[in-house]
A = this chain, B = another copy of it.
Amino acid sequence: MTRRKIVIRRIENMGKRQATFCKRRSGLLKKAQELAILCDVQVAVIVFSSTGRLYEYASSTTTTTTTSMAMASILQKYRSAQEQQQLLNPVSQLMINGDAGYWFQLSVLNGSTKGAACYPPRQRMTSTMEL
């Protein structure tokens, strides 16, 4: 982007990587806010540094007074959207929404269809789990 063009791959030098992280992280959050304001849409961004530190942005509405509330609202909507998608095309993904409270399992095994849906989930399903 600037004094020299760079290739998009992991920056090996730790100091440079940290410096770039600082700059680009702030740039990303700014862009997210601009998008939300300019286009009047809901935007959520979550970033975890390699040390586990959290940076976030969530566009707010009249009913969301804090970042956490705004984020919660968007994540709620995201979960709903994922459910819709799952219902429309149940076999497209073995697992969705690993962190949500809703679970749908639909799979074809040995020529017979087995299905299960429960809320709240009793057990997390993974792609390697035997059904």
Contacts and interface: CB of A to CB of B under 8 A. Distances in A.
Interface of A: 6, 8-11, 17-18, 20-21, 24-25, 27-28, 31-35, 37-50, 52, 54, 56, 65-66, 68-69, 71-79, 81-82, 93, 95-101, 120, 127
Contact of A24 (B21, B35, B76, B101): B35
A63 to B, nearest CB: 8
A38 B9 contact: yes
A60 B27 CA distance: 21
Given A79-B99, A101-B120, A21 B37 contact: no
Nearest to A53: B81
Most B C-beta atoms less than 10 A away, residue of A9, A50, A54: A54
A39 B11 contact: yes
Contacts of A79: 99
Contact of A97 (B6, B10, B68): B68
